[in-house]
Structure 1
Amino acid sequence: MLLLGCALAWSARTSAAVTESDFLDEMPVVLSVSRLSQPVTEAPAAVTVIDRDMIRASGFRDIPDLLRLVPGFTVAYTRDNTWAAGYHGLGDAFSRRFQVLVDGRSIYSPHYGAVYWSDLPLSIDDIERIEVVRGPNAASYGANSFAAVINIITKTPAQVPGEFASLQLGEQGMRGLTVRHGGGDASMRYRLTASAQQRDRFERDITEKTFSSGDNGQYFEASKTYFVNGRMDWQLSPKSDAMAQFGLSQGNWNAGRRVDEPRAALEPLEQDSRALYLQFAYHKVVSPRREWRVQAYYARNRFDANALVPIVYGGTDYGVVEVNQYLLQTRSNIELQVNEQWMPNLRGVWGGEVRHDTVNSPENYHSGRTLRGSLARVFGNLEWRPAARVLVQGGAMLEQHFYTDTDISPRAAVIFTLTPGHVIRLGVSRAFRSPTFYEEEGNKTLLQASGGVADVVTVPPSGGLDPERILSREIAYVGQWRPLRLELDLRLYSDHIDHFIGQVKSTVTDVGSFQPKVFTFTNIDGTIDAEGGELQLRWRPTRALDVSMHYARVFLSTNTSDDHFIKDIPKSAPRNNWGLLARYQLGNGWETSVFAQRNGTQKWLTEGDVTREFNRVDARLARRWKWQGHDVEAAVVGQNLGSDYREFRDTNIFSRRVYGSLNVAW
C-alpha cells in the first residue's frame, strides 16, 4: 500500500494543473441493462463497467478473475478447468445463476448451467469492456439472468488495425502467447487472433488438509489451451452493416487427484476439450427513429475424459469400472431486436428469440440418446420521461421453456434526478431460472467394463422441477461529484428467492455401489432472503491516478427445513467483501498498479468447502515506449504477494507467483 500512498501524495501536488473538463465529462454509457444505450445514471438497474484500462491494470490473464473488481461477487477456480462465481452467495461449482454473453452470444451451458471459461476462444487482449448488471435482468435476457448478467464486448476490427503480439512467462507453469492481425478498408475490416495458454493453478502436493473433503496427495490442475478466432465487419451502405465471427478452441488438460483412495481414480487425469462457434449479425437503420438488428449463432462444446479403473473397496471387488465423461452440447439461436423512438420523451426496444439446445452424455444420463429442448421469447422495454427530472422504465420478457412452460419476467424502475449528475433509483424486478438438462434428467451412472452397473451417483427428480424465482427490490444513488472528480454508486437491495433448486440425498439407497450416496435435484422447501448494500466508486483526481474501489455487505437467511441447506446457505456469501484497484502513471512511459482484495469466510455450495477469509494483494509495474516505430509494453506482475490462501476447496492452495509480459503492436 506504500505505492498507493506515494501516488496519492503526488496527485495532491499535481491536481492544480488539471481542469475539471479533463475528467468525467460524461458518465459511462452502457448497453446491457435494457438493451437501450443509456448513461449509468439512467439505467434501470445497477451496473459495473470494467473498461480496458482496468483490465490492463489488474494484471489478470483469466477472464473470470475480472469479476473480482465487481461489488458482491466472489470468484474461485474449482477443478477440472472450471470456475465458480457467486453474487450475494448461492455460488457453486457451475455459476449456474448468471447469464454470460459475448457480443450478444450466450455461453451459458445447457447441460450443467456452467460457464466454460477455460475453453472460451477469446483472448483477454481482445476485450473492449465488460458490463456487469448486478441483480436480476430477465426482463432483457430471459431465464438464467437470475443473479446477474455479464456482457463481454470485444474490440471491433477498426479498433485494432495492424499486428499485435503478447507474451507471458511466469511461475506455476504460466505460459501465454497471443498474436493478432487486423486489416481491411473503410467498407470491410477484419481481425484474426490466435493464442496458446498454459496454466498450473495451485500447489500440487497437499500434505495438510483443513476439511474432510480432501485427502493428502497430489492434485493436478494444469491446462494447455489453444484457440483461434476472427471477426469481419462490413459497411454495406451508409445505413446498414453486417458482422461475422468464428472461434475454435482445443484444450489438453490435466486434472484430478492421485491419492491413496480408490475413488480418486474415477477422476481421469487427462482431459480433452474442444469448442467452436459461428455468429452472424445484420444491422439496419430504417430512419432516425427506428433501427433493427438480427443475429444468429451456433455453438458446440465437446468434453472427453475416460479411464478403466479396477475398484476394490471395503473388501469388495467391484471389477473394472469404465469412466467415460464424454459430453457434447450444442446451441442454435436466432434473435431480432428493434429499437424505436416514438416521441421525444418515449422510446423503447422490442424483439424475440428462438433457441434450440442439445446435450449428449451417456454417463451423465445413463443413455446414448441426445436430449433436446427449444425455447421461444418475446421482450419489450420502454423508457418514458414524463418530466424533466423523472424517468420511468418498464419491461418484461415472456418465455416459453421446454421444461417449465410459460413464465413472465417483469421489471419497473423510476429514476429521480436530484441535481444534474445525481439520481435516486427505485426498482423492482422478478426473474426465473429454468432447470438445466442435468438438474431435470441427470442420471449419472458408472458401468463395469462387463456392462453391469457399478455405481449410481444421481437420479432424476420425481415429478420434474419448478423454476427458481426471485423478487428483487432496490433503492440506489448514482452520482458524479465533479469537484472531487468522483463517480459514486450506492445500492441497497432486498432479494426474496423461492423454489431454490438444490442437490440432496435421494431416498434411493440400495444401488449395490461402493459409494452408497445417491443424489437428486429438488426444489428446496422454504425461501431464501438476501439483504444488504453495495458501494462502488471511481476516482480520477489527476490524469495520472485512477482508483476503483468497491465494498459489499450481505445478510443471507433461509427458513428451509433441510438441515444441510439451512446451515450452508447463510454462509454461502461472505458477510463483508471489498476490493481496490489503483493505477498511477509515473511518467516517461512508466505505470504501476495495485489490486487489493479482502474476502470474508464463505461456504461454496454442494461441491465446495468453507473458504476461510483471506487477503490478496497483486502489484504490477509496466513501461511503454516506441521501438523502431512499434508500440512496446513490458510488465512484471506479482499475484497474491501475501500469505497463501485456499480457494473453493481446501486442496486448492493459491500461492505467491510472479509473471512477466511483453506486448508489441505495429
Structure 2
Amino acid sequence: MLTRLTPTPPARAPVLPTMGLMLVLPITASGGSLGELKGMSLEELADLQVSIVSKRPERLADSAAAVYVLTEEDIRRSGYTSIPALLRLVPGFSVARMDSAEWAITARGFNGRFANKLLVMIDGRSVYTPLFSGVFWESFDTLLEDIERIEVIRGPGASSWGANAVNGVVNVITKHAGRTEGTLVSGYAGDRERGLAGRQGGAIGETGYLRLYAKHEDRLPQKGLADGSDKDDLSGDRVGFRGDWDLTPADNLSLWGDLFSVDSHDPWIDGSDLMLQWEHARDSGAGDTLRISHDRFEMETATSTDDASIREDLDTFEVEYRHRFAPVRRHDLNLGLGYRWYRSLIEGSEVRAADPAERSFELFSAFVQDEIALVPDRWYLTLGTKLEHNDFTGFEIQPSLRARWNPRPDSTLWAAISRAARTPSRGEYDLVGVSTVVAASPDTQWMPLIARFTGEDRMNSERLIAYELGYRWRPAPVLGIDLALFHNDYDQLRTLEYSDLRLELDPSPRWILSVTPDNLLKGRTYGLDLVVDWRPGASWRLQAWYSLMGMDLNPVSGSTDPEGVALAGRYPRQQAGLRVGVDPRHDLELDLYLRFVDQLPDFDVDAYGELDARLAWRLDPRLTLALVGRNLLSPSHLEYGVETLGSTPHEIAREILLRVEFTY
C-alpha cells in the first residue's frame, strides 16, 4: 500500500557565530538531533522492508537470499565520500581500489576493472554500460546525504532483474523529497580529496516536494607503480533534482534527473538521466508501478596519441510496468513487462574502432513471481522467472526457486536454486583494434609483433546455475547471526582466444597475432559468508564478518586463452571485517572499521589489513565536527594488479580529511 508522507516542517535556523568557521572549513550536512540519527535495533532492522529480491516489499529477515542493507546511519557514520567506497562495508563483497577514479568491484568471483556479472542500479534504474556489461564506477554518484539505504544481494537476482544480475545486485535508493526539506551545504577536505555540495528542498503546493542539489569533487592522483607518479586524478561535477507528488490518496508520482561530468584523464565521461515513476494502490490491496527513463552517456578514452582514442555516445530508453495482485488465498503474485532500447555510436580510428560504428539494439522482457504460503507463518515457496529477448543471443530464460522456513519468529532457514545469464556486450561483438605487443628487435627478426582484436558476433551468453543455503538467527534481542553458503556452476565463460602468428607485409612487414572472444571456459565457485551483529544498546554496535571463497576454472579443449584459468587468482580467497561504533558521550561518536583482504596470487598482490576511523563531535544539534582517517595501518598498499584490458594499478595511500556537518 502507498502511504502519504507528511514530514515535519523544519525549524527556522538561528544565526550562529560559527558561520565564519563554515566559510573556511569543509561542510557536510545531516539533519535531526543526534538521538534521531542513532541506528536501528536488530528487531527494527529485521522488520525493514526491502524489494531487491522480488521487486515487492518484504521483511529483510524473510528474504530468501543473501541480502544486506547499508542503512542511512551506516552511510553517515562511515565517513566515506563515494558509493564505491561504501560498498567496502558489505560483507562478502570484493572492493579493490585501482587508482583515484577506478575500482574493481563484484561479489563471488570474476572481479576486475571491467567486471561484468554485477548489476548496479539507482532507484531501480540500471547504470551498467552495454559496452562491456559493467559499470564506470567513477561516474556512479549522487549526494550521499540523499541516500536512504543501499540494498545488496550477494548471488544471482536474474529472475527479477534480468541478464547481468549474475553474481550480485546493488540498488541505491534515494530519499523521498519530503524528507529533505530545508537548505544544506556540504563538503569535506583532506590531504588527498575535497568536495563541496549544496541542496535546497521544500514543498510544492499542498501535495508535492522538490529538492535540487549540486556537488563538486576533486581527488589527487595515487602513486603509480611504473614511475612513482601519475596523472590519474579526478575532477567531477553533478547537478540533479527529485520531486515527489501525492496526486491522490492512491497515486504517487516521482521524477528524477541528473547532469554530470567526470574528468579522470582516462576516460572523460559526461551524461544525463531522467526518470518518471507512477505508483497506484488499489483498494483490493493490489498495486501498479510504471517507470519510464532516458539516459545519455558520452565517454572518451585518453591515450598518448589521438588515433588510439575512442569515443562512445550512448542513448538508453526504458519503460517498465509492474503489477502486484491482491493475495489470492495463499498466493502473492507479482508480474511485469519491460522494454529497453539502446543506440550506441562508437567513433575511433584504424587503431581502435567498432564495426559497425553505430548500432541500435532492443531488449524485451517479462517476469512473473508467485510466493506461496505452504503453511502460513512457517513454510513459503517462491517460484519466478525472467523471460528476455535481446538482439545478440535471442531468448534467455532465467528462473529461480526459493524456499524459506520460519521455525520461530526469530529465525529463518532459506534455500534457493537459480539460473542466470550474462549476455554478450557490444564490445565483444563489434570492437576492433590493433596494438604493438613487442617492438621490433633481433628476437622478432626486426619486425614488430602486433595484436589485432576482432569482435565475434557468434558469442553466447555466459551461464550460471547457483545453489544457495542460508540461516538467519537472532538468539537474543541484541545479537544477530547470518550465514550464507553457496555453490555456483558456470558454463560458456568468456575467453580471449589467440591465433598462431602469421606474417603480413602490407603496409610494412610485421607479425600478427589475432585475438577474438569466445566461450571456452567453465568452472565453479563455492564458499560462505558469515555476519555476526551485536548491538547491546543505543550507544554500542559491533559487527564482525568473514567470507571464504574457492574458485576452480577449466578451459574447454582447444582454448588458447592464457589468462582464463588465471582469473581464479584475482579474487581473494578470504576476507574479513570488524566494525565498531561507540558513543562515549551523548555528543561524541567513534567508528572503527578494520578489514582484512587475502592475497591475489595472479597479480602478486600481498594480503593486507587496513583500518578506517571516524571521530565526530556534535557541537550543536545542527553542527558536527568529524575527523576521518583511511588506510591508517600503512603509508600505502596495493589492492589490485595489471589486467590485459585494464589500467595500471596504483598504491592506495593513507589519507586524512576533516568534515563539518551542518544543516539549517
Q: Work out the CA distance in 1 between the residues paired with 2:571 and 2:453.
A: 27
> Residue in 2 aligned with 1:552?
547
**Any conservation in 2 of the 1:454–1:513 contact (CA below 8 Å)?**
no
1:332 aligns with: 317
SS in 2 for 1:221: coil
Structure 1 residues 506 and 179, CA, compared in 2 at 3 Å: closer, same or farther?
A: farther
Distance 2:318 2:130 in 1: 13
**Counterparts in 2 of 1:288 and 1:515: CA distance versus 1, 3 Å:** farther
1:52-102 deviation digits (Å, cap 9, x = unpaired): 111122221121112212222111233583321131221121221111110
Residues 1:154 and 1:510: Cα distance change in structure 2 (over 3 Å): farther
Shift of 1:184: 0.9
Question: Are 1:493 and 2:497 matched, yes or no?
Answer: no
1:156-202, Cα deviation, whole Å (9 max, x unpaired):
11111101111111012x11011111101540101111000011241
Partner residue, 1:223:
234
In the alignment, structure 1 residue 536 sits paired with structure 2 residue 531? yes
1:464-479 alignment runs, 5 A limit: 464-479=458-473
SS of equivalent to 1:24: helix
Q: Does 1:353 align with 2:347?
A: no
Distance 1:306 1:495, change over 3 A: closer
Aligned partner of 1:314 in structure 2 is: none
The one of 634, 638, 645 equivalent to 2:637 is 645
* Count of aligned residue pairs for this structure pair: 595
Distance in 2 (CA, whole Å) between partners of 1:71 and 1:457 is 40
Q: Name the CA shift for 1:286/1:634 in 2 (closer, same or farther; >3 Å).
A: same
In the alignment, is residue 521 of structure 1 matched against residue 508 of structure 2?
no
Task: Supply the distance in 2 between the matched residues of 1:368 and 1:306 (Cα, whole angstroms).
Answer: 22
Residue 297 of structure 1 aligns to which amino acid in structure 2?
Answer: S
CA distance in 1, matches of 2:420, 2:268: 35
CA offsets per residue over residues 307-331 of structure 1, 9 Å max, x none?
Answer: 674xxxxxxxxxxx62322121121
Task: Tell me the equivalent position of 1:188.
Answer: 208
Gaps of 5+ in 1: 1-20, 207-214, 256-270, 310-320, 448-452
Partner Cα distance (1:336, 1:119) in 2:
27
In the TM superposition, residue 493 of structure 1 has moved relative to its aligned partner by 1.0
- 2:244 corresponds, among 233, 248, 252, to 233
Quick one: percent identity of the two aligned structures? 23
TM-score normalized with structure 1 length: 0.85
- Alignment deviations for residues 22-49 of structure 1 (CA, whole Å, 9 cap, x no partner): 6524613211111121112321211010
CA distance in 2, matches of 1:292, 1:69: 34
Partners of 2:393 and 2:423 within 8 A in 1 = yes
* 1:632 counterpart (620, 623, 647): 623
Q: Which stretch shows the higher mean deviation, 470-479 or 514-523?
A: 514-523
**Alpha-carbon distance between aligned partners in 2 of 1:301 and 1:167, rounded to the nearest angstrom:** 26
TM-score, normalised by the number of residues in structure 2: 0.85
Residue in structure 1 matched with residue 88 of structure 2 by the alignment: 68
1:503 to 485, 496, 499: 496
1:635 maps to a residue whose letter is A
Per-residue CA distance 1:264-308 (angstroms, 9 max, x = gap): xxxxxxx53211001011111122321101001011111224567
1: CA distance between counterparts of 2:501 and 2:262?
Answer: 37
Aligned position for 2:269: 273
For residues 536-559 of structure 1, the C-alpha deviation after alignment (integer angstroms, 9 at most, x for no partner) is 232211110122322110111122
Q: Find the counterpart in structure 1 of residue 562 from structure 2.
A: 564
- Quote the Cα distance in structure 1 between the aligned partners of 2:110 and 2:374: 39
CA displacement at 1:487 relative to structure 2: 2.0
Aligned partners of 1:440 and 1:96: how far apart in 2?
15
Q: 1:376 to 1:603 in 2, by over 3 A?
A: farther
1:613 aligns with 2:604: no
What amino acid sits opposite 2:357 in the alignment?
Answer: R
For residue 597 of structure 1, what is the amino acid of its counterpart?
A: R
Match of 2:475 among 458, 473, 481: 481
Tell whether 2:366 aligns with 1:378: yes
* Structure 1 range deviating more: 568-577 or 277-286: 568-577
Which shifted more, 182-191 or 149-158?
182-191
Unaligned runs of 5+ in 2: 1-39, 437-447, 643-648
Q: Is the 8 A contact 2:531 2:543 kept in 1?
A: yes
Q: Please show how residues 172-321 of structure 1 align to structure 2 within 5 Å.
A: 172=192, 174-185=193-204, 186-204=206-224, 206=225, 215-216=226-227, 218-255=229-266, 272-305=268-301, 309=305
SS in structure 1 at match of 2:73:
helix
RMSD: 2.4
Q: Give the residue type in structure 2 aligned to 1:625.
A: L
SS in 1 for 2:43: coil
